[in-house]
Chain A
């Protein structure tokens, strides 16, 4: 009995040791990645730092600015930046610093929710279309072609005009818009992965389609999916703020950065220019950080898309006729 218990103890301690090495290895790999990012892409590391600050601000918005984004104080209206109100106040006397901080929270919620939705849509359409192929692929791709010939902002405006403004609607529409467009990239990756020997081996062993898709295809197209995720985050933030700027996105009093710049507040901006400067600056810094981090991540994770010219160049390379590649 004691032997058995000794045996099981030694087995469990061996397991624990193994788990520790695995988690240690993971930690090492993460630190190694951070090291590479700082050494090889310092601007990307700077972008990553901005992203961390952005997420921190968003998560702890209620702690950083406990008065909330809609604390109206008519006596304090249009006050210039001071020690009391770091970024000044707006026409209703609301503190612009608090609104900017809560705006970060809103941007992050919309960005992560819409991007996650878009990536799920991209992955489902891209993997199904690429793996099944044939007529199904052709039909789906004609639909994607048709969808992609419309300017993003026009689709967004039309869709929001149908669904009405609101955070949920904006997330849904942005997710759909970028999801369908992004499915091309996932499909491209699936087409090359599905020809690998290990997929043929799984097929010949009688593995089910679902198992092949989840265990063999999905893990091998994760790199482009992660890259797609980071590039989409900035695009989603910009698209949401553009829509809110036009008065079609997230309705007031929600502190969307784009909405804060909208034409409704234009009259007050002449008296209080900080109303025009602060939200735009916050938006620019956030997009800059995500762009830089995304570009660096792409170069480090997906060497096939490397080019040093950003995501547009990667897209052009994919689209250009064969003779130019």
Chain B
């Protein structure tokens, strides 16, 4: 297993390198000069030569581009330093560190709700194929796939407020101090995001269950006279779940994008809002930092997903190819 982990980590290195070049490159693709844009967007920063020189130094724009990249990488790798925010006078890492727990909690809760809805309904849909329950489940997934989460979120904020004067709470208390108040804030946003993700997982779960239920070993389990519960839960679900884990890996980037939108609708001060504020203020060190952290997070989840295969499926663990 440790060999497998090492091989996976080594394979990650070139991807990380390319990702860092993309992060570095995209922000510098701006036509003209980043400085001109920043100065034109922020009137309070006068475009005097002094400000310009200071900014140029802060961004390291006075050096050739490859030197800029190497310095940037050196600071990240050796000191974990992503630079400082241009307008807030704080380090990018501390800004991200402050906001990340909110985004992670929203993301994890959404994933939890997605699986909580999708896995049982998907299993039921497959086991009771072509019944009313199956049709209801499939209709839900088809509709949920088409409803954009920002529309669902907007309706949830507006309609209950109009009808009952209810607004989703948004005063976040630390989870360990007041878990109930904390969960109250995250419940509605994560349910909306979770429901939209559950559609995909549900279809996957149903298709995989249908495939597994037709396998010989399931027929054998039936033939042995095992009760339905044992056949489904022990023989079928376990095998059908493996591809669902792959799907979770594919869904994580989509989930991340969803948190940006949902944070904005419910005014949760997470990474997404940090990014959008930074975009409005043209705070490029923060934009670059969030971009990089998002990429590394997704890569880490994909690595974890790959390791899960190793734990769940012995054939992967011993595959030396």
Residues of A with Cβ closer than 8 Å to B? 43, 142-143, 145-147, 149-155, 157-163, 238, 241-242, 245-246, 248, 258, 261, 263, 266, 269-270, 273, 276-277, 280, 283-285, 287-288, 291-292, 307-310, 312-313, 315-317, 319-324
Given A151-B298, A313-B204, A324 and B145 contact (CB-CB distance below 8 Å): no
Set of chain B residues within 8 Å of A292, measured between Cβ atoms = 142
Q: How far is the CB of A136 from chain B (nearest CB, A)?
A: 15
- Tell me, yes or no, whether B96 is within 8 Å of chain A by CB: no
Do B282 and A161 have beta carbons less than 8 Å apart? yes
Complex Cα gap A277–B159 (Å): 10
Given A159-B26, A291-B146, A269 and B158 contact (CB-CB distance below 8 Å): yes
- Chain B 14-34 interface mask (CB, 8 Å, partner A; 1/0): 111111011000110111000
CB contact between B154 and one of A246, A261, A317 (< 8 Å): that residue: A261
Q: How far is the CB of B153 from chain A (nearest CB, A)?
A: 10
Q: Which residue of A lies closest to B252 (CB)?
A: A151
Do A316 and B250 have beta carbons less than 8 Å apart? yes
Do B295 and A149 have beta carbons less than 8 Å apart? yes
Q: Which residue of B lies closest to A287 (CB)?
A: B146
Complex Cα gap A245–B260 (Å): 11
Set of chain B residues within 8 Å of A319, measured between Cβ atoms = 246, 249-250
18 pairs, CB–CB < 8 Å, chain A vs chain B: A146-B22, A151-B256, A153-B258, A154-B275, A157-B260, A157-B275, A157-B276, A158-B27, A159-B29, A242-B148, A245-B150, A261-B151, A266-B158, A280-B155, A287-B146, A287-B148, A316-B247, A323-B313
Given A149-B19, A158-B287, A321-B313, A284 and B159 contact (CB-CB distance below 8 Å): no
Do A152 and B204 have beta carbons less than 8 Å apart? no
- Interface residues of B, count at CB 8 A: 67
- Tell me, yes or no, whether B1 is within 8 Å of chain A by CB: no
Do A154 and B257 have beta carbons less than 8 Å apart? yes
Set of chain B residues within 8 Å of A283, measured between Cβ atoms = 148, 151
Residues of B with Cβ closer than 8 Å to A? 14-19, 21-22, 26-27, 29-31, 142-143, 145-148, 150-151, 154-155, 157-159, 161-162, 200, 203-204, 206-207, 242-243, 246-247, 249-250, 252-254, 256-258, 260-261, 264-265, 275-276, 278-279, 282, 287, 290-291, 294-295, 298-299, 302, 309, 313, 315-316, 319
CB contact between A157 and one of B159, B249, B279 (< 8 Å): that residue: B279
In the complex, which of the residues A153, A277, A308 has the most CB atoms of chain B within 10 Å of its own CB atom?
A: A153
Set of chain B residues within 8 Å of A317, measured between Cβ atoms = 243
Q: How far is the CB of A281 from chain B (nearest CB, A)?
A: 8
Given A269-B154, A291-B145, A150 and B247 contact (CB-CB distance below 8 Å): no
CB contact between A312 and one of B148, B203, B290, B291 (< 8 Å): that residue: B203
Do A149 and B257 have beta carbons less than 8 Å apart? no
CB contact between B14 and one of A142, A151, A312 (< 8 Å): that residue: A142
